[in-house]
Structure formats: C-alpha cells, structure tokens
Structure 1
C-alpha cells in the first residue's frame, strides 16, 4: 500500500501525464487513495452492449474531447466545470434510462459508471474539478477494454 504522504505527489505527476495526452486518446491511469470495485471480463471476453450505451458513451467522449484542451491549459472556470458536469450528467441519465444489458454486464457497467458519477459530482462541487475530469477520462479509457463496442473510435 502506498504511503499517504506520497499520494499527492504521485497523483499530481499522474494528472500531468493524463492531461498531456492527445485529446482524442482520452486515456490515462492515475493513483487512487480509495478502494473501488474491480472490473472483470466475461470469461475473457468483452461484455455486450446495446446501442443506447454506445450513444451515451460516445456523447461523453465527445464532450470530454472538446473540453480537454482548456482543462489542460487551466482555462476551465468553475462555471465551465459545472456546465460540463451537467452535460455529462445528461449523457449518464440517458444511459441509465435506456441501456438494457444482461445482469452481469449491467453490473460491470455500474462499476464503470460509478467512477464517472463521482467525477461529475466533483466537477459540480468544484472540489478538485480537474480530478473529476480524470475520473471521466479513466472510465472512457476502460470502456473499450471491457465492453464490446465495435463502433468505438
């Protein structure tokens, strides 16, 4: 387990790394100071999706790809974070309302989306809003690793 005194330094380094990637990549890993449920594959295979999940996730990816440059260059104000969080929440609400996956796949999706929900809440409260953006990007990075979205780019 990581010593708590090293966490801010490591988190800051990882945050810089995340925000330095190309916006189209939207991919990063960073350290966590809390336990999260671990996603798994379906006996080595990716979980099935439906069209509404693809639509919602693509909407989230588009919103983040538009915002990432300004976030990286510290041009995102508290108001911009709140507006982005509201738009992201709309996409998440769409997924929750319309997505219909088999129970095991749905359970894995809830693990993925829980990180996004925490990120959205951080952005709305402006408590480490950039950290909230990282949570969203991390989930976007994990999505194609665990879900069989043939149209994900």
Structure 2
C-alpha cells in the first residue's frame, strides 16, 4: 500500500492534504507536478476507478444547478461529504506504483481542497469555487490516468 495512503487512512480523512504532507509530500503551492508516464497514461486500479466514477456521478449532474446558483448550502455540504468519503476510500485502498502515486497525490490534493470548500470547511464567499477544483481534478485524472471510457467533465452552462 502507498505510504501516503496508509498515513491518510490511519489519520482519518479529515486532512488528506495534511496527511500527505506528513508523508513527505507538500500539497500547498508545491503540489506534485502532473506528468505522463513516458508519454502514456498511468495505470489505475479498481478502487481508484470506482472512487473517481462515484465522485463524478455525485458532481456532474449538479453542474447546471451550480452554474445557475440554485444549489443550497445543504446540497453543497452533502456534495463535499460525498467527495471526501470517496477520496477516503481511494486513499485507503489504492495500490499504485510509486511514480503513479506521486502524480495521483496532485489530483487528490486539488480534489480534497475543493471538497473542503464545497463542504464549508474552508470559508469562502462562493462554494462553487470548490466545485471548480473538483472538476479540474477529475479532468486531470482523465488526462493523466488510464481509465477506459473516461471523458472530460463539461462544466454547466
């Protein structure tokens, strides 16, 4: 199991970013660079694919309502909690090669930050800003990881 994943699982998900930092990974302004695997996408495993599909299924159908300003605080909180639960599942069950793990940390860090904003754990004037981070992370995941059938998430219009 990945060292950072084990640390995050042992400390609870409330601070995945902090747990990853404790494992020697700083996800603040120095988040790991997203890069391809010698020009190809990184391999995934079933827990990673399952968690990402569930995060997408929770967020994507709500994008039009978010764009229109119709999502309530309660709905944002539920979305943040659902994303955090799936990230905890991924962190607790992922088993990737160290190089793929390092790239995944960047995706997870951005998604975790977005979930904290959406869920109301970070004070902001607009929770939809957290959704932008989640969608960016989902799209980065699809760009850098081999997930058959994955397509970019389109923002609401």
CA distance in 1, matches of 2:48, 2:150: 11
Aligned to 2:6: none
Stretches of structure 2 lacking an aligned partner (at least 5 in a row): 1-28, 152-157
- The verdict on how the C-alpha distance between 1:90 and 1:36 changes in structure 2, with shifts beyond 3 A counting, is same
Aligned to 1:40: 35
Aligned to 1:65: 60
Say whether residues 1:146 and 2:141 are aligned partners. no
Tell me, yes or no, if the aligned pair for 1:47 and 1:105 is still in contact at 8 Å: yes
Q: What is the Cα-based RMSD across aligned positions, in Å?
A: 1.4
Aligned to 1:54: 49
CA distance in 1, matches of 2:118, 2:131: 7
Tell me, yes or no, if the aligned pair for 2:32 and 2:103 is still in contact at 8 Å: no
The structure 1 segments of at least 4 consecutive aligned residues displaced by more than 3 Å after TM superposition are: 34-37
Structure 1 residues 90-132: Cα deviation after superposition (integer angstroms, max 9, x where no partner): 1111111111101110110011110000001111225231110
> Structure 2 length as normaliser, TM-score?
0.72
Stretches of structure 1 lacking an aligned partner (at least 5 in a row): 1-33
Partner residue of 2:113 out of 114, 118, 122: 118
Alignment of 1:1-153 (within 5 A): 36-125=31-120, 127=124, 128-153=126-151
CA distance in 1, matches of 2:75, 2:49: 25
Tell me, yes or no, if the aligned pair for 2:110 and 2:134 is still in contact at 8 Å: yes
SS at match of 2:119: helix
CA distance in 2, matches of 1:36, 1:71: 27
How far is the alpha carbon of 1:35 from its aligned partner?
5.9
